[in-house]
Structure 1
């Protein structure tokens, strides 16, 4: 039994362009919506479609023609507590030591939210369950969820989390069985993209 999961990062939003901690309610911008519509139909058929419970992930899924995506709370992005809705520059100016600690120590959560380590553990548990699911899953998820997947699949230290860049509207594919995953990352979506 082989499980295949394609993780799709959401299209662009004003929050992304402003380096703002997303509050889960930010819709796609016009360019992001147009790019997602243009990529509709480029994904292979799936046995199941899931999404992070944010507006930008749900709107990306709908624009890709995946309107039946099931919201999965375990696939939510990193909980950044009181930093939600603020830009990285704003937080950095108000709390420079807290930001430095957060970026350097994956166990810290100075924003009173979730640590990077806790996010990676949560996504790891979800992946463990997916290893028993035969067939193909498409998951439209937050970029930090994709980073956590990469860390888990590669067996990398959690400190490597910030070293993985996840571009908007790209696909990261994993396949495997019995908890052993293989990885292909950063494939752009579109009419000529290889979604196998």
Structure 2
């Protein structure tokens, strides 16, 4: 049995445009319009799941996907940094930010480490492989990063070297614990 998981990153949001840690805000009007415009380009799927965040839910709605199943992993929990920009946090806590960006086991914000999110997403991805057919998952960019790290057996430190653009699809196909990667491509 070959499973396919297509990870779709959410549309643009004010937090994304401001380089702000996700604050639970909505997608912006331009992002919603673009998602509606590309809705017909999505591949057929046996099931669709979303991350529980607002921007993933709104992106799924704009793409015309069902939003009842919020079983896809949530984004990285950044604790007390939620809603702040990286520049703001870097000015207030430069050593903590440096440690967080270089040590995947570090969580100076009081939330989740990169290592932890990679393990959590890896567990979800392995469970998704047991479903027959294609799964579409609208997930936060850090979930896409963590899934790629897990699928390719990369060290957790590679997490920060992966860029995920809005409204792109990253497809993973697997059989017997082995994943292949179709790199992210824009939906159009």
Kept in 2, the 8 Å contact 1:13–1:56? The answer is: yes
Match of 1:193 in 2: none
Match of 1:194 in 2: none
Q: 1:97-143: CA deviations, max 9, x gaps?
A: 00000000000000000000000000111111112111010000000
Matches within 5 A, 1:14-29: 14-23=14-23, 25-29=24-28
SS at match of 2:183: strand
Structure 1 residue runs of 4 or more that deviate by more than 2 Å after TM superposition: none
Match of 2:131 in 1: 133
- 1-side partners of 2:28 and 2:150: how far apart? 31
SS at match of 1:75: coil
Match of 1:124 in 2: 122
SS at match of 1:186: strand
SS at match of 1:166: coil
Residue 69 of structure 1 deviates from its aligned partner by 4.7
Q: Which runs of 5+ in 2 are unaligned?
A: none
- 1-side partners of 2:68 and 2:113: how far apart? 27
Q: 1:36-80: CA deviations, max 9, x gaps?
A: 0101111122111001111100000000000345112x5100000
- 1-side partners of 2:67 and 2:86: how far apart? 33
SS at match of 1:111: coil
SS at match of 2:137: strand
- How many residues align? The count is 188
Q: Note closer, same or farther for the CA distance 1:2–1:44 as it changes in structure 2 (3 Å cut).
A: same
RMSD (Å), alpha carbons? 0.9
Q: Note closer, same or farther for the CA distance 1:102–1:116 as it changes in structure 2 (3 Å cut).
A: same
Residue 171 of structure 1 deviates from its aligned partner by 0.2
Kept in 2, the 8 Å contact 1:61–1:69? The answer is: no
Which among 166, 169, 180 is matched to residue 167 of structure 2? 169
Match of 2:145 in 1: 147
Match of 1:58 in 2: 57
Matches within 5 A, 1:43-192: 43-72=42-71, 75-190=73-188
- 2-side partners of 1:157 and 1:144: how far apart? 15
